[in-house]
Amino acid sequence: MAEAMGLRERKKLQTAMRIYRTAVGLFAERGFDNVSVQEIADAAEVSKMTVFNYFGTKEDLVFLPMEEHFGDAARAVRDRLPGESAVEAVRRHFLEMVESRDPAVGLNSEPFARQVRGLVMETPVLMERAFLAAQKGTRDLAAALAEETGDLMLGTIAAAMLSAARNALIEEHHRRVDAGESVDTVAADAAERAERAFALVEHGLGDYARRA
């Protein structure tokens, strides 16, 4: 019975991935607004109802597989080690993702991963979805910090700073890979870059950019 359930789950995953890759390919070729869900279903050789069983909306066909990553920082804080600060937890988790070349931190040269990012950047409705998901991730991080400290205002400021540092690092990875650098080259100095970015959060702005 367990083996049969495992087989069913594997088949469901394969179907979901086929629909996902088919949708992204069509969107990239013709534009998000110019492809219908029915056309995706036909190309993936499933029914329209099957598409909606796996992906609740048309936008989900792009975002659902990646949306959990917008909560990475909040999870890192909630699951941090004893004695570990919020900054240390988010930095450690980020560097673990760098080490594994996780596409969520911009370190994947696989054409499909770059195609998904390009699609999001070129489609206003998907950019709005990304913005809202990122905002939710920051709010969840603020809530996690406030739950422990009892101070929502400072938790909100800390969450914004941590999210901004993390997002800036990811954008730098994307910028350099898009410019033609290899993922390994970008990853080679990622730890040093992350140390500087999170140090700015950890120690505050202080004398940063003081005008002479």
How confident is the model over 152-169, as a mean pLDDT?
Answer: 96
Using one digit for the tens of pLDDT, what is the confidence trace for 12-57? 889 999 999 999 999 999 999 999 999 999 999 999 999 999 999 9
pLDDT on residue 1: 45
Question: In terms of domains, do 196 and 182 share one?
Answer: yes
* Residue 39, φ and ψ in degrees, nearest 5: -65, -35
pLDDT on residue 113: 85
Domain containing 52 equals 2-61
Residue 212 pLDDT > 80 = no
154 assigned to some structural domain: yes
pLDDT on residue 2: 46
The enclosing H or E element of 74 equals helix 72-78
CA distances, 171 to each of 10, 57, 105, 124 (Å): 34, 27, 8, 18
Q: Under DSSP, is residue 58 helix (H, G, I), strand (E, B) or coil?
A: coil
Residue 133 pLDDT > 80 = yes
Question: In terms of domains, do 74 and 42 share one?
Answer: no
Helices (H), 123-151: 124-149
Using one digit for the tens of pLDDT, what is the confidence trace for 71-96? 999 999 999 999 999 999 999 999 99
180 assigned to some structural domain: yes
CA distance 84 to 65: 30
CA-nearest of 153, 163, 156 to 142 is 156
43 assigned to some structural domain: yes
Q: Which two tokens stand for residue 199?
A: 């140090």
Question: In terms of domains, do 94 and 198 share one?
Answer: yes
